[in-house]
Amino acid sequence: MWRLGSPWEDEAKLADAWRTAVPFPHLVFDDFVAAEQLPELLAILEEEPVDRFDGDIFAFEASAPEPRTEGLRSLRDSFARTLAAPLSRITGKSVRRADMRAYAYRVGHYLLPHADHQEGVGRVLAFAYYLPSPEPPQGGELELFTCLLQSGEIVGTESARLIEPRANRLAVFDVSDVSLHQVREVLGGLRASLAGWFYA
């Protein structure tokens, strides 16, 4: 299912892109899954139930933290097997396993600015893979922020990069106290994705 196409061949170039990315390390890969594999991928996800989740920083539909179907479990495990080694080499951060949930952001859904880092949880890298949508989303961009720091405290935040949720695109980004990001409100269509974290 998952393939590492030609962009992954030059790991030194990717490592450089990772290190120099602004506002914090991240990479974006388009056409990540072979076109002929997409129907199978979507068929697996059709079976996975999603529920509505609301909190002070989010409103979306998502699958359970642990997949309920064998299909999504295997998809998650093969994703981690395929990507853990090359991402470890490229980012210089050793990762071994990943979790994965399916997300559906419908009109009005959002994920407000936050950093994924939580002490003791072990998240090292975050990822989002955007699925083809029957109605491509308006809005729903992944927005990365620069954090201005004073004595280790965030004293300013500034938008620095927008990543469109384009179908068959994979975004990988660093997890740290200052990797502030959000999913902008979806204003139309459906933003469907697989997302989660890689762990050491």
Partner 1 sequence: MSTRDEWAATPMPAVVVPAAIGAELAAEVRARLDSVQYTRYALLDRGSYDEVRTPGEPELLAALAGIAGEVTGRTLVVAEARALRLGPGDYLLVRHDRVYEGRPVELMLELSQVSVPGAELHYRHRGQVFFTIASTPGILALVERGPTVMCNHTYVSKRHRNASVVRLMVLLRDADPRARA
Return the closest-CA partner of residue 185 out of 141, 144, 154, 150: 141
Pattern 112-131, partner 1, x by CB under 8 A: xxxx----------------
Return the closest-CA partner of residue 14 out of 93, 125, 94, 90: 90
Tell me which residues in 142-171 interact with partner 1 (CB under 8 A): 145, 154-157
Cis before residue 86, ω within 30 degrees of 0? no
**Span near partner 1 by CB under 8 A; candidates 18-26, 77-85, 126-134, 179-187:** 179-187
**Span near partner 1 by CB under 8 A; candidates 12-20, 80-88, 163-171, 181-189:** 181-189
What minimum distance in Å lies between the beta carbon of 57 and partner 1?
A: 6
**Whole-angstrom distance, CA of residue 20 vs CA of residue 178:** 15
CA angle, residues 90, 96, 100, in degrees to nearest 5: 100
176 touching partner 1, by CB under 8 A: no
Contacting residues toward partner 1, per CB under 8 A? 56-57, 59, 107-108, 110, 112-115, 139, 145, 154-157, 180, 182, 185, 187
